[in-house]
Structure 1
């Protein structure tokens, strides 16, 4: 089953959810605040997506800014960054869509259309 990891109060997540429903893409919804990905899951998503770990950080979020992560991340190992992402769902870029062996991070309609073959 496809997994849609999201935050209900996020307008981008809502757009992505509406997109999936409109295109009849089946998914199981997972609220990121209640069920944040573990460090191991973050690592696996990074590997599957081929994206740099930085793309998994919610760089526009208040928590990211208040923790001054822009300056701290370059000095952290990937393991430390994965562990940090696992501490709070609000640090993680969303939505995340897991389908087959692929992972989409953030919602860009054109990207999702291409990736899902719609």
Structure 2
């Protein structure tokens, strides 16, 4: 499977991640996270592969997250409800979200991108 990056073009962190991969000649498939967010099943697989709790996939600094009061509501929600919520609105997902089906990175840290995407090409 090729590398897929779910990103939001207006997001500075996403632009930095795209630039980093391009500078290191790493090819990837670009998906607009708002226009085409990952499905519940895609998210479920990414959560499983990452080994991280679903909460790590939420953009906790986002306006939408705060507007919906999710810091409190998530504690009461099931994993299926959390996945459905993430899949319903790409602005709720921490970005960029990058996967090749075997690995997942959330957000952009050069060291993680080096290890997971650049060194693996």
Q: RMSD between aligned alpha carbons?
A: 1.1
Deviations 1:40-97 (A, max 9, x none): 1111110011111111000000000000000010111100100111110000010011
Q: 1:16, 1:87 → 2: CA distance?
A: 24
TM-score by length of 2: 0.93
Secondary structure class of the residue paired with 1:86: helix
Q: 1:78, 1:100 → 2: CA distance?
A: 20
Alignment of 1:1-118 (within 5 A): 1-116=2-117, 118=119
Q: 2:92, 2:118 → 1: CA distance?
A: 29
The more displaced of 18-27 and 94-103 is 94-103
Task: State the shift of 1:98 in Å.
Answer: 1.0
Q: 1:100, 1:81 → 2: CA distance?
A: 21
Q: 1:46, 1:2 → 2: CA distance?
A: 16
The gaps in structure 2 that reach 5 residues or longer are none
Task: State the shift of 1:2 in Å.
Answer: 1.1
Query: What is the count of residue pairs matched by the alignment?
Result: 118
